[in-house]
Amino acid sequence: MYSLSAFVLLFLPAFYPMLKSMLKKLFSYSSPKNQHSAQTFGKDVIYHVSTFQNSVLLLLSWFAIGAILRFINLDAKPPWTDEFSTLVFSLGNSFLNVPLDQPISIDTLLQPLQPRVGAGVQDVLKHLLTESNHPPLYFILTHWWLRLFPSDDGLVSVWGARSLAAIFGAISVPAIYLLSFKLYRSRLVSHLAAAFMATSPYAIFLAQETRHYTLPILWVMATLACFITAVRRVQSRSQLPIKVVVAWIVVNALGIATHYFFVLTLCCQAIVLLFLLVKQVRNKEWRTVWYRIFAVAGGTAIAGAVWIPVFLQNSYGGKLTEWIQGDRVGLAWLNPIFQALAAWITMISLLPVESPRLAVVVTSGLVMLAFFIWATPILVRGLKARLALTENQLVTKVLIGFIISALLLFFIFTYFLGIDLTRGARYNFIYFPAVIVLLGASLAVCWRAPTVKMFKWSISGKKAVLIIWLMSLASGITVVNNLGYQKYYRPDLFVSVIQRVSSQPVLIATTQKTHVHIGEMMGVARELKKNVKNNTKFLLAHQDDKPEASSKALGKAVKTLPRPFDLWKVNFFADDPEELETCSLNSKPLPAVNGYEYKVYRCR
């Protein structure tokens, strides 16, 4: 599992001299002043061709690093509930066909994961739009993509499904380079942004799941490019080109069709644009250039309005988002602040704080704390320097305003609307590319600094940037090896406990409200199928407005199943039925497993 990660670490010492040489050629050259001579002109041409070639080669290097990190151990980690949703709906299958309130076999539970001959896009739309709360674009793309991969022991290929997200994640590396170059016209800023996008633990975490977050990150970059173009046109008092208007509307429409939270990205843009509009109106500088921006807003609103009836008619929406809702008491009001802080930190740094070894956890936490105490002033000074440069001031201010707007929206939703968006780190995709661009812009200042203080010592700016990037690389490898941003559910560990504890046939019982709970059991069933544990049955006891119905279903199963068997109550949130008195509760201490709260009963 760790061989490819080790290869990356061994590869770096040989790779660094080449990078250093190319960076030196790219960013340390002072071109000769413009002279009217054929010889000077020829030298300039040769220089620019050489610089372009080195820049392309370096960008390909960042792309290669990003791709390797995203594809390492791609299918080593078991899929979790959200990924099962993507797999089932992308196949054009449904969760509604899984029998409830009765013991079922492993194969019956996993049937929605079997590719179905004849399933098409219409099936994807039918089941997704009635059983889930997501727009269909990514699921349709995954449906077509999965046709390229053979089944895995009769089930859909998890590697194949995750590879699509990994590809989009790898593409984000050259994409962030292009966005940064458009914004700052600096190869140094662009290469630093690409380097950190390649190794960002947050970006790698999103790219190694069969979910729809790496694609909207690309749409965020595209809409930011159009947005900055519009801001510059407003400042220069010139019309926004029609082709930009059309491209902006199309990108926004695709973004909304990929993830509804893309609307939050557009809201952040609207806040910044509204601020500029109010400022111009107050200064009596109103210009007709705003009319085409209003046209973009209108076109985007129409594209988004298409999904309102689909979203409202979905009866599963409230149930599927219960996990980010709820009341807070006491210190729980501080949780969103720490959750948001953790998400920001892990965009560039995440050491093995989720290791099973306490010493590793403590050491990792201390190293990360020391790193940020040292690195934060460097990043802040870099941003201040960017704000002081006239040619970069507008772009830097707009990006900072965009990110602040996103953070304000997150906390408004969390504290005023009761929807805690900070609980899902993945939702930060709405502004993540802007963070990486600003990171590159800030570190470009540090790169050119002769010295930077590292606690009591001084090092060159280039070495400081390298240290920060190596921290990001180590963090990416941490995620790849499931020591950071761990999966919320660990069915692999849970199945190992079952195999160690139960020698008799097993009944796994859980309460079920939505397909999320079916996905929890699918993870266990998939691991059992891999381990040839076929004497296991599952009971999905449906839980609605009458919680006692789940207890009755369990009581009936306990009464009718042939004995002996072991009952594993897993995430079973209902009262015990009377029939359970005929079974004895296992009193031996058993290990805790992420995502699975369980008790074991011996029914003899």
Q: Domain residues of the chain, as ranges?
A: 3-25+39-72+165-480, 90-150+489-604
Q: What is the pLDDT of residues 409-454, one digit of tens each?
A: 999 999 988 888 998 899 999 999 999 999 999 999 999 999 887 7
Q: What are phi and psi of 488, to 5 degrees?
A: -65, -25
463: tokens are 């070495």
Q: What are phi and psi of 283, to 5 degrees?
A: -85, 5
Binned at pLDDT 50, 70 and 90, residue 31 comes out as very low
Tell me if 564 sits within 8 A of 603, measured CB to CB: yes
- pLDDT, residue 315, reads 60
* b/e per residue 554-572 (b: at least 16 CB within 10 A): bbbbbeebeeebbbbbbbb
Is residue 162 scored above 50 in pLDDT?
yes
301: tokens are 């609103």
Q: Which comes out higher in pLDDT, residue 8 or 145?
A: 145
Is residue 175 scored above 60 in pLDDT?
yes
Closest CA to 201 of 349, 397, 414, 353: 349
Residue 502 CB partners (closer than 8 Å, separation 6+): 566, 568, 600
Task: Starting at the earlier edge strand, list the strands of the sheet with 506-512.
Answer: 103-105, 536-542, 506-512, 565-570, 598-603, 584-585
Closest CA to 428 of 591, 579, 198, 205: 205
* b/e per residue 106-140 (b: at least 16 CB within 10 A): bebbbbbbebeeeeeeebbbebbbebbbbbbbbbb
Cα atoms in the Cβ-side hemisphere of radius 13 Å centred on 324? 21
Q: What is the pLDDT of residues 193-214, one digit of tens each?
A: 999 999 999 999 999 999 999 9
Strand stretches in 51-180, DSSP E: 103-105
Q: How far apart are CA 410 and CA 247, in angstroms?
A: 27
Binned at pLDDT 50, 70 and 90, residue 84 comes out as very high
Hey, is 585 helix, strand or coil?
strand
Paired residues of 538 in beta bridges: 104, 508
180: tokens are 């940064």
Q: How far apart are CA 482 and CA 1, in angstroms?
A: 10
Hey, is 457 helix, strand or coil?
strand
Percentages helix, strand, coil for the chain (3-state, rounded to 5) are: 65, 5, 25
Q: Are strands 506-512 and 598-603 parallel, antiparallel or unpaired?
A: unpaired
Q: How many CB atoms lie within 10 A of CB 314?
A: 18
* Average pLDDT, integer, range 241-249: 97
Closest CA to 491 of 113, 210, 80: 80
Residue 430 CB partners (closer than 8 Å, separation 6+): 216, 220, 261, 262, 264, 265, 268, 406
Q: What is the largest CA-CA distance in the chain?
A: 99
How far does CA 428 lie from the centroid of its chain? 8
Tell me if 553 sits within 8 A of 543, measured CB to CB: no
The structure tokens 């008790």 sit at 599
* Average pLDDT, integer, range 226-252: 95
Q: How far apart are CA 268 and CA 403, in angstroms?
A: 8
* Average pLDDT, integer, range 220-231: 97
- pLDDT, residue 327, reads 65
129-138, 313-322, 454-463, range with the lowest pLDDT: 313-322
Q: Which comes out higher in pLDDT, residue 282 or 386?
A: 386
Is residue 324 scored above 60 in pLDDT?
yes
- pLDDT, residue 321, reads 63
Task: Give pTM, 2 decimals.
Answer: 0.91
Hey, is 83 helix, strand or coil?
helix
- pLDDT, residue 6, reads 45
Question: What is the length of the chain?
Answer: 604
Binned at pLDDT 50, 70 and 90, residue 546 comes out as confident
Closest CA to 26 of 465, 444, 463: 444
571: tokens are 């995430």
Tell me if 533 sits within 8 A of 499, measured CB to CB: yes
Binned at pLDDT 50, 70 and 90, residue 25 comes out as low
Amino acid at 19: L
